[in-house]
Amino acid sequence: MILSPGDTIGILGGGQLGRMMAMAAARLGLDCHIYAPDAASPAFSVARHHTVGAYDDAAALAAFAASVKVITYEFENVPVASVEGLSTLVRPAPPALAVAQDRLAEKAFLADCGLPVARHRAVDSAADIADAIAELGAPAILKTRRMGYDGKGQARLTADTDPAAAFDAIGAAPAILEEMIPFTAETSTVLARAADDRTVAYDAPANHHADGILRRSVLPGPLDPTTEAAAAEMVAAVAARLDYVGVLAIEWFVSADPARPLIANEMAPRVHNTGHWTEDGAITSQFENHIRAVAGWPLGATTRLVDITMQNLIGADADDWARHLENPAARLHLYGKGAHRPGRKMGHVNFVGRPVDSSAKG
Amino acid sequence: MILSPGDTIGILGGGQLGRMMAMAAARLGLDCHIYAPDAASPAFSVARHHTVGAYDDAAALAAFAASVKVITYEFENVPVASVEGLSTLVRPAPPALAVAQDRLAEKAFLADCGLPVARHRAVDSAADIADAIAELGAPAILKTRRMGYDGKGQARLTADTDPAAAFDAIGAAPAILEEMIPFTAETSTVLARAADDRTVAYDAPANHHADGILRRSVLPGPLDPTTEAAAAEMVAAVAARLDYVGVLAIEWFVSADPARPLIANEMAPRVHNTGHWTEDGAITSQFENHIRAVAGWPLGATTRLVDITMQNLIGADADDWARHLENPAARLHLYGKGAHRPGRKMGHVNFVGRPVDSSAKG
């Protein structure tokens, strides 16, 4: 499936990722139709068409699918059954979604692709938690298997934690317990894979989280060129196994242990917050490359042009917009969300630094 | 008037300039309401609100004005009376529109601001044309006073031209005859002026026209730094006289005559085709700076980052989109117009070259 300018891409999900995808599509002469349950979805404001509908409304989804040439998503928690039932081509294909929706399945899949992952155990009860801590040691991280993002559904357990209270705190839902990785840095590989199987990867930033939410991505990042290339190869292998079309991100722990310098933490079958720097720091943004891939078009160059720091504007951070406008190095991105509340991603700022000396690159 | 994120800007005109302005606004968290007579206006696809209405429909314009915080325009041929009748603040203010709509008034105004302009005479009849040619010499350029753009309403007259036929060819409308300037290059100053009177100017490209339509803008351009700064000062003077808020462009002939190295050719009270390179070559694009100005916000840096060539995709040029996607240095912009026809601007490509050596700049 190769689209032509003027064709329409369907996007499931109407948040900031869908919004930035729709803007990238518009620049390339492609229209978007956004499907999302919330009538105040930020992506609606920049797309030619939108539908307010629930992700399990089969009739509304069918009408949406009939109106577009190809469908993609900005949100990995769209029900797999809804996506599988669509009559229109979905890129990336539903198996990527299924894998990413279950932390246990995801870890097994990544390990099977040859990626190092944290030791972990499935836990379905307080008793399982006690057994898993005995096996993996403490501290350890308890995470719900499904519907987690931005640190939601996670808890750090110590040897003193009451397993029953911990299990209740995450909603007594199916979960996994992971060993605590003593990482020296966090990074991520954002890779795009085209319908013709070619891949391109962006430079891997140093990612800084607080309270489970990404705060900053800093380029250049923490990896030496050999390790960075190895990370990109592993993500390309994952993408190939899924016959993936679009942008795929894997977050890594960088470990001091030379036996496993990189440990895969999470996979996101979509454009990723740690790739937002690409809008102002790379020749082609992650959003444009996702749209190019979904359209069946060739990918654009991912060359990084400048040193750059992406900073998320979370909750009341967005009140600083006027200060960022005064900074000549700051590129402000606001998502058009109405009220801010704690933890809500309202926008981001890319602080553009020195040009990359291309003559010095390998 | 200072807008806040979430506020709505009204834009009169729904073409590619309005489209790119709306995308710049969205990135900054501002909504747009586009008002245009054509239901297939390209800007509608990327704006939160739109109204299909005639530029002289007072009721529709009043409803539009009531829905927005401030109004701007992408098109200088909006009737001045319509704009003057609006109850909402218009930026740039209507006098800029009035001046730009009449070539004779524009030349008088620019000359009064101290800008060199071509010698010219008003002509309202075939007899006037003969008199003007006798005075200015031949060849000379006949231009309608109103509603001209992209070379429309213009004709090159020689000593052999029949004045009556020439006058009929431009519709026997009020016109001016201009001396032919033996220019060595064409350039333009694209300047933004904020509500606090501060101005920023972009580097001046070498502009290449064919058949009256801009084909390419090439940076670095033809001016030495002193002349380029003088040009920007002249445009700042024009903007100050109009108490202008927004982006203002003046096109210049570069002359070999040392007595008048720059001759002002045309003024555009809006973002300008010769500024499209700024989307991929400057820290802040002309579209973002126009929106910042209209919003009452501070302007962004205009620093040029790379050598760059903007090429318009006119008519069937747009069929080359797939070839441009294969070029890693090409940044493709398509306007979402349906069918192409000769002379229609369908998109543009920015060819990104070498980084500007900022240490070498004055």
The reported pLDDT for the residue numbered B174 is: 92
Tell me the residue type at B57.
D
Quote the minimal CA–CA distance from B243 to chain A in Å.
Answer: 22
Q: What is the residue whose two structure tokens read 């692709």?
A: A113
B window 307-346, beta carbon within 8 A of A = 318, 321-322, 325-326, 328-329, 331-336, 338
Distance between CA atoms of residues B195 and B81, nearest Å: 23
Question: Nearest residue on chain A to B302, judged by CA atoms?
Answer: A328
Beta carbons of A26 and B47 less than 8 Å apart: no
pLDDT, tens digit (0-9, with 9 covering 90-100), for A128-163: 999 999 999 989 999 999 876 666 778 889 988 898
Give the per-residue pLDDT at A359. 57
- Chain position carrying tokens 């894979």: A193
Superfamily of domain B119-179: ATP-grasp fold, A domain (3.30.1490.20)
Name the band, by pLDDT with cuts 50, 70 and 90, for residue A361: very low
Residue written as token pair 């299909």? B52
The CATH number of A8-90 is: 3.40.50.20
CB–CB of B300/B347 below 8 Å?
no
Residue-wise pLDDT for B271-309, tens only, equals 999 999 999 999 999 999 999 999 999 999 999 999 999
pLDDT at A171: 87
Q: How far is B239 from A293, CA to CA, in rounded Å?
A: 44
φ/ψ bin of A86: left (φ > 0), alpha (ψ from -120 to 50), beta (otherwise): beta
Element (H, E) at A129: helix A126-136
Q: Could you tell me the two tokens for B296?
A: 């009452």
- pLDDT mean over B104-122: 96
- How close, in Å, is residue A17 to chain B by CA atoms? 12
Average pLDDT over chain A, rounded to an integer = 94
Query: How many residues make up chain A in this entry?
Result: 362
Asked if A303 has any chain B CB less than 8 Å from its own CB, the reply is yes
Predicted local distance difference test score (pLDDT) of residue A273: 98
> Does A29 reach chain B within 8 Å, measured CB to CB?
yes
Sequence-distant (6+) residues with CB within 8 A of A216 are: A207, A208, A309, A310, A311, A312
Note whether A167 and A130 are within 8 A (CB).
Answer: no
Whether B206 shows a pLDDT value over 60: the answer reads yes
Q: What is the mean pLDDT of chain B?
A: 94
What's the mean pLDDT in B17-32? 98
Residue B309 has a pLDDT of: 98
Shared fold status for A8-90 and A119-179: no
Measure the CA–CA gap between B318 and A7, rounded to whole angstroms.
Answer: 15
Asked if the model's pLDDT at residue A360 lies above 60, the reply is no
In this prediction, residue A362 carries a pLDDT of 38
Amino acid A77: pLDDT:
84
What is the enclosing helix (H) or strand (E) of A302? none
CATH of domain A183-360: 3.30.470.20
More confident site: B259 or B10: B10
Whole-number pLDDT of residue A231 = 98
Q: Which of B26, B334, B352 sits opposite A46 (nearest CB)?
A: B26
Residue A75 Cα distances to A24, A149, A271, A345, B281, angstroms: 17, 10, 9, 14, 32
Query: Considering CB atoms only, which of B6, B47, B329 is closest to A338?
Result: B6
Measured distance CA(A107)–CA(A244) in Å, rounded: 18
| Residue with the larger pLDDT of the pair B114 and B155 | B114
DSSP label at residue A343: T
Tokens 């002359």, located at residue = B255
Task: Return the beta strands (E) in chain B as ranges.
Answer: 8-12, 31-36, 49-52, 70-73, 120-123, 140-144, 154-157, 175-179, 183-193, 199-201, 206-210, 213-219, 246-255, 262-268, 306-314, 330-334, 345-355
Query: Is B223 strand, coil or helix?
Result: coil
Coil, strand, or helix at residue B137? coil
**Residue A68 · residue A9 · CB < 8 Å:** yes
Q: Cis link prior to A174 (omega < 30° from 0)?
A: no
Distance, in Å, from the CA atom of A41 to the CA atom of A349, rounded to the nearest integer, reads 21
- Mean pLDDT, residues A174-189: 95
Residues pairing with B167 in the sheet:
none
pLDDT above 90: residue B349: yes
Domain boundaries, chain B: 8-90, 119-179, 183-360
Which pLDDT band, with edges at 50, 70 and 90, does B149 fall under?
A: low
A149 known ligand binder:
yes
Q: Measured between beta carbons, which residues in chain A are less than 8 angstroms from residue B16?
A: none
- Chain B CB within 8 Å of residue A362 CB: no
Quickly count: other Cβ atoms within 10 Å of residue B161's Cβ.
19
Cα of first residue to Cα of last residue in chain B, in angstroms, is 35
CB contact under 8 A, A26 and B19: yes
Which helix (DSSP H) or strand (DSSP E) does residue A277 occupy?
none
Q: According to the model, what pLDDT value does residue B357 have?
A: 73
Query: Degrees (nearest 5) of the Cα angle B155, B313, B274?
Result: 65
Size (chain B), residues? 362
Band of pLDDT at residue B359, cut at 50, 70 and 90: low
User: Cα(B51)–Cα(B63) distance, rounded to whole angstroms?
Assistant: 9
| pLDDT computed for residue B201 by the predictor | 98
Tell me the count of A-B CB pairs closer than 8 A: 100
- Return the structure tokens found at A342: 């704690």
- Interval A283-294: pLDDT, tens: 999 999 999 999
- pLDDT number for residue A119: 95
pLDDT tens for each residue of A212-235: 899 999 999 999 999 999 999 999
Q: What is the mean predicted confidence (pLDDT) over B7-33?
A: 98
CA atoms within 13 A on the CB side of B87: 11
Only one residue has tokens 């020439």, namely B166
Mean pLDDT of A72-87: 90
Q: Is A170 part of any known ligand binding site?
A: no
Residues A29-56, mean pLDDT to the nearest whole number? 97
Residues A303-351 have pLDDT tens digits of 999 999 999 999 999 999 999 999 999 999 999 998 888 999 999 999 9
Say if CB A117 and CB A264 are below 8 A apart: yes
Three-class SS state of B324 = helix
- The side-by-side arrangement of strands in the sheet containing B154-157 is B120-123, B175-179, B140-144, B154-157
Collapse the DSSP code of B17 into the 3-class scheme (helix H, G, I; strand E, B; otherwise coil) and give the result: helix
Cα–Cα dist A214/A273, whole Å: 8
Query: Predicted confidence band at B361 (pLDDT cuts at 50, 70, 90)?
Result: very low
Three-class SS state of B278? helix
Q: How high is the pLDDT of residue B246?
A: 98
In angstroms, rounded to a whole number, what is the distance separating the alpha carbons of residues A177 and A174? 10
Q: Percentage of chain A surpassing pLDDT 90?
A: 84
pLDDT exceeding 70 applies to what percent of chain B? Answer: 97
**Would you call B23 and A19 a contact, using CB atoms and an 8 Å cutoff?**
no
pLDDT of A244 above 80 = yes
Predicted confidence at residue B151, as pLDDT, reads: 63
